[in-house]
Amino acid sequence: MSRYRIAAQLEPGFERVLTPEACEFLVSLHDRFESERQRRLEQRVQLQQQLDREPRLSFLEETASVRAGDWKVAPIPADLQDRRVEITGPVDRKMVINALNSGARVFMADFEDSNSPTFQNCVQGQINLADANTGDLSFVSPEGKQYKLGDKPAVLLVRPRGWHLPEKHFLVDEQPMSGSLFDFGLYFFHNARVRLERGTGIYFYLPKMEHYLEARLWNEVIVFAQQALGVPQGSVRATVLIETITAAFQMDEILYELRDHSAGLNCGRWDYIFSFIKKFRRHPHFLLPDRAQVTMDKHFLASYVKLLIQTCHRRGIHAMGGMAAQIPIKNDAAANDAAMEKVRRDKQREVDAGHDGTWVAHPGLIALAQDIFDKGMAAANQIGAAPPAGEVTAEDLLRVPEGTRTEAGLRVNIDVGLQYVEAWLRGNGCVPIHNLMEDAATAEISRTQVWQWQQHRASLEDGRTVTPDLVTEIAEQELKRLIASAPAGHRFELAGKLFLEMMVATDSPEFLTSVAYDHL
């Protein structure tokens, strides 16, 4: 008898990737690594309890020799040398084709924050990526428009789900397996040899790490997978998103753990802000202003960028910049010009700081970002350039930005959160809201910031106090407005219930996606 069970309806075509051999490989990943994954998740809980008592973080004494050591990561593969513009998005078929054809150097196919993890989305995404790797990917829209891969597609990287997320539809001995291992395992099993035969490697983005031991776990998974399938060691390369405040203190250590498989670090800035709020949520002196005021020029974020670039370039690898979430505004030229100017300033800041590339969420931003990096970065990257000068201290990374808290800021947090969760519940994890392409990270900032304000009874600029009653009042107003214009089949009632509960709960849930996943 097989030890695995698929607790979902198998749609036509799913058998292409959910083969018995692939499923047995998933079982082997589960057997080997699930216990350690649970230990790492328990470590997160213990650290949060410590931070709830005392909001103190520092560079680890136990790894001082790693930070001081004179080591480099493995040499960069040829097709990852130049990553000046990367586009990201979910793994639906049309999106994958358009992103690979977009003109960006890299496409990050995302099973995580921009993907609502319905079983259909996750498995169909695996089919789409398998077809992309063989060059057989095509799509015909309901209107009859045909899409197919061009001659020079972007280099494909894949982001699996974070360590905390399960895949409840794939059970091993009736236990849900890790969403990380499910996404990684299926992709690796079906695509590793194909990509090597085509002269490239197997490339990943790894999200949401909070400790270097989580990077060690990923490296052990990668080594095991290469051994199990007879793939040469070093065929996998992974870029780690530094999107938690705890990981910011362990950048050297994370690179060191993955040094034979590293493709650098990335400034996952939206999740980083979310993590900053979440980790210090119990302490009123860590109250942040309106999230629109928490910009990359704030000292704690500028310090995080500086440290990431210093660390990566010292170790001979890429330091990637963050996301431009703006999307072109077709019906308002003045608003579009203002949005594009924000993108221009942000990308100029990144190339001037020393980043080796940047992210965009929409193909319409690629030319703008490409032009800025072409002018500011003559070589394939800036790894050999002089790094930013000056030491980054723990105080720099923990300095709370000044600013104001307003009803408008409170209201937009609630509005964006409601809209995003409703779309996510319908299976869409990448949502245009107010001319920005939002994913789970901005919804998480919105949620935790409202929770933080009401928990500590923050004062708004107009003198009012943020209380659960005020949050509830505004949420009901926004929900009523959104329902009034929503199409049939919307899920705003459930989204409103879940999002409000999370905003005014006694304790803030770790991730909204973990709470909402039960309702997919």
Report, as residue numbers or ranges, the catalytic residues. 159, 439
Rounded to whole angstroms, the Cα distance separating 420 from 431 reads: 7
What angle, 0 to 180 degrees and rounded to 10, lies between the N-to-C axes of helices 333-353 and 299-314?
50
Phi-psi region of 230 (alpha: psi -120 to 50; beta: other; left: phi over 0): left
Helix (H) or strand (E) holding 253: helix 251-257
Strand partners, 156: 107
SS3 336: helix
Look up residue 194 and give its two tokens: 């194909």
What residues contact 436, with CB distance under 8 A and at least 6 apart?
325, 326, 327, 442
**β-sheet bridge partners, residue 109:** 89, 158
3-state SS, residue 249: coil
Q: Rounded distance, CA 35 to CA 319, Å?
A: 32
**Size of the chain in residues:** 520
Beta-bridge mates of residue 171 = 5, 176
| Sequential DSSP letters for 368-431 | HHHHHHHHH--SS-STTSPPPPSPPPHHHHHPPPP----HHHHHHHHHHHHHHHHHHHTT---E
Q: What is the CA radius of gyration of the chain?
A: 22
Which residues on neighbouring strands pair with residue 205, listed in sequence order? Answer: 239
Tell me whether strands 4-6 and 166-172 are parallel, antiparallel or unpaired.
antiparallel
Pairing between strand 431-433 and 138-140?
A: unpaired
Q: Which residues of 444-475 are buried (b: 16+ CB within 10 A; e: fewer)?
A: bbbbbbbbbbbbbebebeeeeebeeebbeebb
CA neighbours within 13 Å on the CB side: how many for 261? 28
Q: Which residue from 209, 156, 201 is spatially nearest to 180, judged by alpha carbons?
A: 209
* Rounded Cα gap, residues 160 and 180, in angstroms: 5
Torsional class of 219: left (φ above 0), alpha (ψ -120 to 50), beta (otherwise)? alpha
- Residue 300's H or E segment, with its range, is helix 299-314
DSSP string computed for 167-235: EEEEEETTEEEEHHHHHHHHHHHHHHHHHHHTT--EEEEE----SHHHHHHHHHHHHHHHHHTTPPTT-
